[in-house]
């Protein structure tokens, strides 16, 4: 009944993703700081969240999800972020590349490519949409690489080829990181690296690059989303800087819902 309070409409539930995601920690703080009595954020995964969103949207039903930009959901559905007047979700987020200590010495050519890796949220969005439309992530990565030869050439210019040197990239199965990690992996393979992708949860992703079991990650969301992990492992990794800007995290709802702010959930 769309005239009922929104909490009642959605069972006082926010549809979340994996429990270790920074977005989930921030959402727990949102429930607390906005005093959303009786509300909870349901843990799951990126794919479970998008499946629930698709189902609700196709039935014109109310739903509130933990969302982020870029994401194909914004091109597939008419969605909006709820205003966050307390600023819990932070302002603009940036995605960083993080390398294990010693990588530059051990794998200098890969380090150069990783240090140069930078693209736009539209670039990432293009790969995400190809994957969502059914293309295998490796094929989607190569399609983007073929379409953006000039950008990729700037990443590998002057980098000597290697002969099967091993490198591992850790990532979490968020649609955004499936896109970025496969693009970087394919570029590293193009210069001769034997690349292993390790799909893990956020904590093990950060722990892996800190203990050296992973050589690099390209999905560090900062300054807000992964602030806890950054602080926990600071000094045990090398931050190679921003590889993508113009990102954002927050609560996302279909545009047909008659709410505009987190305050409206009370």
Ligand X SMILES: C[SH](C)CC(=O)O
Binding site for ligand X (CB under 6 A): 17, 21-23, 68, 174, 176, 202, 221, 225-226, 249
Rounded least distance, CB 4 to ligand X, Å: 30
- Residue facing ligand X at closest CB distance: 23
Of 111, 119, 126, the residue nearest 169 (C-alpha): 111
Rounded least distance, CB 23 to ligand X, Å: 3
Q: Residue 52 and residue 67: Cα distance in Å, rounded? A: 13
Nearer to ligand X, 38 or 87 (CB): 87
Rounded least distance, CB 221 to ligand X, Å: 5
Beta-sheet pairing, 238-254 with 93-99: antiparallel
Rounded least distance, CB 72 to ligand X, Å: 13
Confirm if 86 and 32 have CB atoms less than 8 A apart: no
Nearer to ligand X, 109 or 225 (CB): 225
Nearer to ligand X, 23 or 131 (CB): 23
Q: How far is CA 198 from CA 3, 111, 128, 195, 216, in A?
A: 46, 18, 19, 10, 10
Nearer to ligand X, 221 or 237 (CB): 221
CB crowding 58-68: b at 16 or more within 10 Å, else e: eeeebbbbbbb
């Amino acid at each position: 009944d769309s005239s009922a309070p929104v909490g009642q409409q959605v069972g006082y539930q926010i549809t979340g993703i994996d429990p270790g995601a920074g977005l989930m920690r921030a959402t727990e703080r949102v429930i607390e700081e906005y005093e959303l009595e009786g509300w909870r954020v349901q843990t799951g995964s990126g794919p479970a969240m998008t499946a629930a969103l698709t189902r609700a949207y196709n039935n014109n039903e109310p739903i509130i999800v933990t969302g982020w930009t870029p994401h194909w959901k914004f091109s597939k559905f008419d969605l909006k972020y709820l205003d966050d007047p307390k600023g819990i979700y932070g302002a603009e987020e940036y995605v960083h590349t993080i390398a294990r200590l010693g990588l530059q010495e051990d794998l200098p050519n890969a380090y150069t490519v990783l240090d140069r890796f930078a693209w736009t949220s539209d670039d990432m969005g293009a790969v995400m949409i190809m994957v969502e439309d059914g293309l295998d992530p490796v094929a989607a990565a190569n399609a983007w690489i073929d379409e953006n030869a000039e950008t990729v050439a700037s990443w590998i210019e002057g980098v000597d080829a290697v002969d099967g040197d091993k490198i591992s990239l850790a990532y979490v199965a968020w649609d955004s990181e499936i896109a970025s990690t496969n693009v970087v992996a394919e570029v590293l393979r193009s210069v001769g690296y034997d690349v292993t992708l390790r799909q893990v949860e956020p904590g093990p992703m950060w722990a892996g690059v800190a203990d050296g079991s992973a050589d690099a990650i390209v999905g560090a969301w900062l300054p807000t989303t992964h602030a806890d992990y950054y602080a926990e492992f600071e000094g045990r990794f090398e931050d190679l800087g921003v590889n993508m800007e113009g990102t954002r995290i927050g609560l996302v709802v279909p545009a047909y819902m008659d709410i505009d702010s987190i305050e409206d959930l009370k």
